[in-house]
Chain A
Amino acid sequence: MFLTVLILGTVLGGTYALLALGLTLQYGIARIMNLAYGEVTLVAAFFLVWAFQGLNLSPVLSILLLTPAGYGAGWLLYAVMMRPLVKRSGASGRLEVDSILATFGLLFLLQGLLLITFGPNFTSISYLDQGVDILGVSVSANRLIAFVICVVAGAGLLLVLTRTRWGLSLRAVALSPGSAPLVGIDVNRVARQGFALGTALAATAGGALAMYQTFSATEGVIITMKALVIVIMGGKGNVGGALVAGLALGLIETFVATAIDPGLTLAATFAIFLLVLLWRPQGLFGRN
Chain B
Amino acid sequence: MRVIAISLVALIALALVPLVASDYQIGLLIGLATYVTLATAWSLFSGHTRYISLATVAFYGIGAYTVAVLNETLPYPIVLLVAGLVGAVVALLVGLSTLRLSGVYFVIFTFGLAELVRQLITWYEVNVTGTLGRYIFLDITAREIYWQMLALGAVTIALAAYIQRRRLGLALRVIGDDETVASHAGINLAQTKLLAFVLSAILLTLAGAIVSPRWVYVEPSIVFNPTVSFLTVIMALLGGANRLWGPALGAVPLFLVFEWLSADFPDTYPIIMGLLFIGVVFLLPNGVIAGLESLRNKWTRQT
Contacts and interface: CB of A to CB of B under 8 A. Distances in A.
Contact of B270 (A98, A112, A267): A112
Interface of A: 33, 35, 81, 84-85, 88, 93-94, 96-98, 100-102, 104-113, 115-116, 221-222, 225, 228, 232, 261, 263-264, 266-267, 270, 273-274, 277-278, 281
Contact of A101 (B101, B108, B123, B281): B281
Nearest to A231: B108
B115 A266 contact: yes
Contacts of B105: 232, 277, 281
21 contacts: A81-B278, A98-B281, A100-B107, A102-B278, A102-B281, A102-B282, A104-B277, A105-B277, A108-B230, A109-B275, A112-B267, A112-B272, A116-B268, A222-B115, A225-B115, A228-B108, A261-B127, A266-B112, A270-B115, A273-B109, A281-B101
A270 B116 contact: yes
Contacts of A111: 270, 274
A97 B103 contact: yes
B281 A261 contact: no
A273 B274 contact: no
B285 interface: yes
Per DSSP, are chain A's interface residues mostly helix, strand or loop, or mixed?
Answer: helix
Nearest to B270: A112
Contacts of B111: 35, 221, 225
Contacts of B282: 84-85, 102
Contacts of A96: 103-104
Nearest to B54: A104
A102 B122 CA distance: 32
A284 to B, nearest CB: 15
B274 A106 contact: yes
Interface centre among A104, A115, A116 (most CB of B within 10 A): A104
A274 B103 contact: no
Contacts of A85: 281-282
Nearest to A102: B281
A102 B98 CA distance: 23
Contact of B123 (A104, A106, A267): A267
Nearest to B177: A93
A110 B278 CA distance: 12
B237 interface: yes
Contacts of B103: 93, 96-97
Given A107-B274, A273-B112, 14 more contacts: A94-B285, A100-B52, A104-B230, A105-B273, A109-B275, A109-B278, A225-B112, A232-B105, A261-B127, A263-B119, A270-B115, A273-B109, A277-B109, A281-B105
